[in-house]
Amino acid sequence: MKKGIWLLAGFIFLIAIFSINTISAEIMLSQPKSIYNLGDTIELNTVIKPSQQASGFFELNLYCGNESKNFYREPLSLEAEEEKQITSSLSLTRSFLGNLIGQCKIKARFLAEERESQGFEITDKLNVVLNIDSMSVEAGEEIILRGTAIRGNGEDVEGFVEISVENIDLKVIRAVNEGAFEINFSFPENTKASNYILNARVYEKSLEEETNTGEAKLTLNIKKKPSKIEISILKQNIVPGENLTFSPIIYDQANEQVAGEVSARIYDSYDGIIFQNIIGSGEKKSIYLETNSSPGYWRIEASGLGLEAKRLFYVEELEKARFEIINDTLIITNTGNVVYRRAIQISIGEVVEIKNLDLDIGESKKLRLVAPEGNYVIRISDGKESEVFGDVFLTGKAIGVEDIRGTFSTVTKYPIIWIFLIAVLGIFIVMLIQRLGKKRFVAYPVKAKEVEVSGAKRSMRDFLGKRGRKGKEKRVRIEKEGDIKVTGVPGKAEHTLVLKGRKEKTGILTVKIKEMNIMKKIARETIDQIFKEIVDNKGTIYETGDYIIGIFSSATTKTFDNEMLAVKIARQVNELLKEHNRKFREKMVYGISLNSGELIVKKEKDGLRFTSIGSTINLAKKIAEIADSEVLLSEPLQQRVMSQIKSEKEVRQGVNVYHIKRIVDRDKHKGFIFDFLSRQQNKK
């Protein structure tokens, strides 16, 4: 009995299974597009129509390669021949798809029935095309980059473009609208000339998530752009007789050398062109400077490729002479570039003669060498250079050196120059006589014995001083406000850059008067006297703040003993100031310093222009500031005049200064010393 029941149950189950498998359903699936980008949505319409009553799940699955994902599932219960329309959508997001990308299809399933869509592509790529006006540009030049960006599905991109350049810190981000973009940018001005790869990356974003991307590259060439010329000099200071070695170099925007040609010129300190030629960039050029090349600042000018450059260098002073003996005549020629003022030692055998020379540039002097008849070895030295001449035949009664009247120079080689100078001198004398004839009665328009100077009475004789008594009076005139000015005195000094001057050792007298502007109003007469002392002794005056600086240069004084001249004037100025403080209630707080140093000077019609070398002026002002109603000497000046001045050293505020104790009058003994030396020489 039980066995029969089990057989009946199995039969019923088989009938049920058979009936399920035989239920069929028709599935109609809409077809997707051929290509989609990330961020797109696939819209699907599905129609299901079973042949019999059916119940089960309806599913939609995405297949890409060997991977799949379900994106739709719904339970259905349908009657026979009942149609069911299902609308579904699939958003192609990165978070959903994961690695599902590429060639794909969609499968619909209900019970045992399946349908597949046609194949389509899911892509995250964008097609980017770049366009630029020129592929070769200069650094700093504006570049306009245009481009288009299209999705794989053919739609315009709405996103962003990022421009970057390899090996350069350059990044620009702009928007992409309707599939197009335009960017203006430029390379840094110091970008090295080379080829650079420009990368344009276009991307879209959805919910702060990058979806589709695309890139395009192009190569840009940055050209060499000549940006400057530099002039390289081997030595900044050149001694005449040496070579000036220089090289003009053209550099581009990245300081790299550029090939090209440069027009180079060299100007001496008088603006004369010494050299001009075409030189290649980086090419070295050596120019020999003659021993008589003018001292001072010279300059090199270079130009090419629209660029210019200048470079100064300094030609030093050279005191040099050439010695030669023709028969019994010694010829000394100044071959340097400054006046040759040296004592030369001439040895004839064992006898030594000393001759002091003062030769202008190019000038020569002849000396006759005499000695008892015979051949002699002649040695000549000026302390720097020596020459030895052997087997020189001389004749005479005694060994000695005789002056030959007259010297000769380049001027004497051309007599026409003398004729021209004499003619000019004659014209000048005639004009001077005519002028004096017309104005001989107006030399002194002021006849009074006393004149008013800034409110104080002074005698005309006191004002004019010794120069008036000697007949070399200067014309004077009275201004409306009562001041007296001496006309015709080029006493002004100007501190400026002197390019065409000469370097000289000068004496510097500096007077510091506290509150100078006020003292000029209440003690004008005394300050005028200080000016007059300096100018009357052919010094020039440079005023700055509370300082009156008197400059004693051979360009104006015509002497080389300028340090002692400055010492004498300083003592007179000190007495003037002491006398003022004794007489007047308004005392002057002052200090006086004396210094010696090199200046580059140039004499002009209206005075002197100078450039200070080193700390010459600053040291003079410093010592004047620490001086207390006294005259203090600097160490450089003390070393120059130590044989003529006895002084005492003191260290004040870290500076070595010297007090004058006594001035030695060497002139009294000069004749005796000369006679004594001559007698000793004759004894030998």
Given a cut of 80, whether residue 680 has pLDDT beyond it is no
Averaged pLDDT, 512-528: 87
pTM for the whole structure: 0.50
Give residue 111's pLDDT.
86
- Predicted pLDDT at 456: 39
Rounded CA-CA distance 188/191 in Å is: 5
Residue identified by tokens 């015979």 is 374
Nearest residue to 155 via CA among 179, 123, 125 = 179
Residues 218 and 233 in one domain: no
Which of these ranges, 7-11, 18-22, 389-393, has the smallest mean pLDDT? 18-22
Tokens of 401: 């050196």
Question: Considering only 10-24, 175-189, 374-388, 563-577, which range has the smallest mean pLDDT?
Answer: 10-24
Beta bridge partners of 273: 267
Instruction: Grade residue 433 by pLDDT with cuts at 50, 70 and 90.
Output: low
Q: Which pLDDT score, from 0 to 100, does residue 416 have?
A: 64
3-state secondary structure of 496: coil
What distance in Å separates the CA atoms of residue 487 and residue 476, rounded to the nearest whole number?
7
C-alpha closest to that of 562 among 504, 607, 495: 504
Instruction: Give domain status of residue 16, yes or no.
Output: no
Alpha helices in 594-634, H assignment, sequence order:
616-626
Q: Which of 223, 258, 277 is the last residue of a domain?
A: 223
Cβ distance 393 to 349 under 8 Å?
A: no
68 with 189, same domain?
Answer: no
- 642, 494: one domain: yes
pLDDT band per the 50, 70, 90 thresholds, residue 484: very low
pLDDT above 90 for 464: no
**What is the span of the domain harbouring residue 638?**
490-667
Angle at alpha carbon of residue 170, lines to 166 and 172, rounded to 5°: 115
CB 337 within 8 A of CB 317: yes
State the pLDDT at residue 425. Answer: 78
Q: Is residue 416 part of a domain?
A: no
**Whether the predicted pLDDT of 449 surpasses 50:** no
C-alpha span between 59 and 44 (Å, rounded): 12
The two structure tokens encoding residue 181: 């973009």
Please tell me whether residues 545 and 597 are part of one structural domain.
Answer: yes
Handedness of CA 540, 542, 547, 552 (dihedral sign): negative
Mean pLDDT computed over 385-409:
79
* Number of residues that make up the chain: 684
**Judgement on whether residues 463 and 495 belong to the same structural domain of the protein:** no
pLDDT tops 60 at residue 451: no
Confirm whether 413 is domain-assigned: no
Residue that finishes a domain, picked among 201, 223, 245: 223
Q: Which amino acid is at 385?
A: E
Extract the tokens encoding 305. 């490729």
Q: What is the pLDDT of residue 666?
A: 52
- For residue 601, give the CATH number of its domain: 3.30.70.1230
In a domain, 249, yes or no: yes
Other Cβ atoms less than 10 A from the Cβ of 427: the count is 10
Q: How many domains does one find in the chain?
A: 6
Higher model confidence: residue 527 or residue 684? Answer: 527
**Residue 398 predicted with pLDDT over 70:** yes
H or E stretch including 667?
Answer: helix 667-683
> Under a CB-based contact definition with an 8 Å cutoff, are residues 595 and 637 in contact?
yes
Residue 293 has pLDDT above 50, yes or no: yes
Task: Convert the pLDDT of each residue in 297-346 to its tens digit.
Answer: 999 999 999 999 999 999 999 999 999 999 899 999 999 999 999 899 99
The average pLDDT across 239-262 equals 93
Quick: pLDDT tens for 494-512.
Answer: 888 887 788 888 999 999 9
Residues 305 and 252 in one domain: yes
- Give the residue ranges of DSSP H helices in 584-634: 616-626
Residue 588, helix vs strand vs coil: coil
> pLDDT tens for residues 42-91?
999 999 999 899 999 999 999 998 889 999 999 999 999 889 999 999 99
Is position 418 within any domain?
A: no
**How do 120-123 and 35-37 pair as beta strands?**
parallel
Q: Judge contact between 128 and 147, C-beta under 8 A.
A: yes
Does the residue 672 lie in any domain?
no
Distance CA 352, CA 350 (A): 7
**Averaged over 135-163, what is the pLDDT?**
92
Is pLDDT above 90 for 627? Answer: yes
* More confident: 306 or 208: 306
* pLDDT band at residue 183 under the 50/70/90 scheme: very high
Q: What pLDDT score does 269 carry? A: 87
- Take residue 98 and report the two structure tokens written for it: 């994961």
> Mean per-residue pLDDT for 628-651?
90
130 and 209 together in one domain: yes
642 and 526, same structural domain?
Answer: yes
Same domain flag for 564 and 474:
no
pLDDT one-digit tens code per residue, 105-144: 999 999 888 899 999 999 999 999 999 989 999 998 999 9
Mean pLDDT of the chain: 82
- 582 and 663 in one domain? yes
Which among 42, 26, 28, 34 has a CA at the least distance from the CA of 86? 28
More confident residue, 245 or 408: 245
Q: Worst-scoring range by mean pLDDT, 286-300, 540-554, 582-596, 662-676?
A: 662-676
pLDDT at 667 over 80: no
Report yes or no: 214 and 128 within 8 Å, Cβ to Cβ.
yes
On whether both 553 and 632 belong to a single domain, the answer is yes
Tokens linked to 325: 């003996």
Question: Distance between CA atoms of 297 and 267, rounded to whole angstroms?
Answer: 9
Question: What percent of the chain has a predicted confidence (pLDDT) above 70?
Answer: 82
The one-letter code for the residue type at 38 is L
Would you state the structure tokens that stand for residue 257, as one six-digit string? 């050398």
Positions of E strands within 349-399: 351-359, 364-370, 374-381, 386-394
Q: Are 299 and 238 in contact (CB under 8 A)?
A: no
Same domain, 471 and 524: no
Residue 490 predicted with pLDDT over 70: no
Here the tokens at position 336 are 């340097």
Q: Which of 433, 460, 488 is the last residue of a domain?
A: 488
In a domain, 424, yes or no: no
Determine the pLDDT at residue 158: 93
Where residue 201 sits, what CATH number does that domain have? 2.60.40.1930
* 189 domain-assigned: yes
